[in-house]
Amino acid sequence: MQALRRVPLSSLRVFESAGRSGSFNQAANELGISSSAVSHSIRKLEEAIGLQLFERTTREVNLTPKGRLLLEHVQRGLDEMQRGFALANAEEPPPLRLHTAPSFGMLWLMPRLPRFVRAHPSIDLRFSANTDYAQFENDDFDLDVVYGEPRSALNEKVPLAVEHLTPLCSPALAERIHSPQDLYDHTLIQCDVQMLQWKGWFEANHLMPPHHYALRFDRSHMAIAAAVNGMGVVLESTLLAERDLAAGNLVAPLRSMTHDIQYIGHYLVYPKRRTRHEGAEVFRKWLLDELGVRAPL
């Protein structure tokens, strides 16, 4: 903070332009000042923070390793300021851009979304779902519900509900399943992108996993739909299947005699240290309340 107080904003703008272009002359043309003014501003910035930011030769200038590191953060800070100016000058609040894992969005979120929309009609919600992680750097999204723990240290992540994986099937098929061994006589449905699969469930219940599976899908909502339609037994999250379980479309025939696999499958992700979108804060609190998850401090 002490170093920041000694640095004028204009010097950071000059540094960002010179660092991005790799040229004092190009920075001068971009900013409408002389090359000597750019050089002088960079020199004063280096003196103020006690770091050499550029390697200078007679023909070119190149960022030092510490210069490259600082440039990344300065660019992020200037972008954030620009976003703040745009938000402050906007006549209407910006839309809330939500990204989610497809099956979570379709099976858990969509049935509840009408309640959120009715409770917050002034929030302009933009909803997108695919298996890629949301891009926060370009302001594409405000919040993301992802499947699997994200590794990026640039974002906050909140673990959502503990999920239970257990064999699920239609009531008609369940009439022929009375023990775990009966599963060997039926089609086992597998979701290939699921982190924990049939092999792990059989091993957790001290059983030999089968050698192959007759039906495989790349989305949980497709695997669950196949089980609802009597095509076999699926190992799935009761959180994702709760609507079909509540409606009686699916049952868990072995739950009283076997061990579920428990894990945290989904995380809420959003950028660190960003001026929070008011609608994003409202949605974040609503989502955690719906899941019974305590919000982090």
The string of pLDDT tens digits covering residues 138-189 is 667 889 999 998 887 778 899 999 999 999 999 999 999 999 999 999 999 9
Among 34, 54, 89, the domain-final residue is: 89
**Residue 297 domain-assigned (yes or no):** no
- Is residue 183 domain-shared with residue 222, that is, in the same domain? yes
Judgement on whether residues 124 and 155 belong to the same structural domain of the protein: yes
Q: Is residue 192 in a domain? A: yes
My answer on whether 116 and 167 are in the same domain is: no
pLDDT given for residue 84 in this prediction: 74
Structure tokens at 135: 């891009």
Q: Is residue 8 part of a domain?
A: yes
Concatenated DSSP letters of 115-145: HHHHH-TTS-EEEEE-SSPP-TTTT--SEEE
Q: What would the mean pLDDT of 223-250 be, rounded to a whole number? A: 97
Whether 243 is in a domain gets the answer yes
Same domain as 79, residue 13: yes
> What is the pLDDT at residue 1?
46
Residue 208 and residue 186 share a domain: yes
pLDDT (average), residues 61-73: 91
Asked which of 36, 61, 89 is the last residue of a domain, the reply is 89
pLDDT digits 0-9 by tens, 189-218: 999 889 999 999 999 999 999 887 779 999
Check whether residue 65 and residue 112 sit in a common domain: no
% of the chain at pLDDT higher than 90: 62
167 lies in the same domain as 256: yes
> What whole-number percentage of the chain has pLDDT above 70?
93
- The pLDDT of residue 8 is above 60: yes
pLDDT exceeds cutoff 90 at 251: yes
Does residue 296 lie in a domain region?
Answer: no
Domain of residue 145 covers 96-160+265-291
pLDDT at position 222, please? 97
Residues 178 and 244 occupy one common structural domain: yes
Sequential DSSP letters for 89-116: H-SSPPPEEEEE-HHIIIIIIHHHHHHH
Q: How far apart are CA 295 and CA 297, in angstroms?
A: 7
Q: pLDDT at position 87, please?
A: 65
pLDDT at 85 over 60: yes
Q: Is there a domain that residue 134 lies in?
A: yes
Amino acid 278: pLDDT: 83
Give me the chain's average pLDDT, please. Answer: 89
State whether 217 and 129 are in the same domain: no
As a whole number, mean pLDDT of residues 25-34 equals 91
How crowded is residue 112: how many other Cβ atoms within 10 Å of its Cβ?
14
Residues 83 and 14 both lie in one domain: yes
Q: Looking at 77-91, 177-191, 275-289, which range is the least confident one?
A: 77-91
Task: Tell me, yes or no, whether 109 and 169 share the same domain.
Answer: no
Say whether both 105 and 84 belong to one domain: no
Residue 16, pLDDT score: 92
Please state the domain count of the chain.
3
Which of 89, 109, 142 marks a domain boundary?
89
Burial degree of 245 (CB within 10 A; 0-12, 13-18, 19+): middle
Task: Let me know if residue 27 belongs to a domain.
Answer: yes
Selected residue with higher pLDDT from 96 and 229: 229
Lowest mean pLDDT among 3-17, 108-122, 220-234: 3-17
- Give the CATH number, domain containing residue 22: 1.10.10.10
- Residue pLDDT, tens place only, 112-131: 999 999 999 989 999 888 87
SS3 label, residue 217: strand
Read off the pLDDT band of 4 (50, 70, 90).
Answer: low
Model confidence pTM above 0.75: no
Q: Please check whether residue 207 lies inside any domain of the structure.
A: yes
Which CATH number covers residue 191? 3.40.190.10
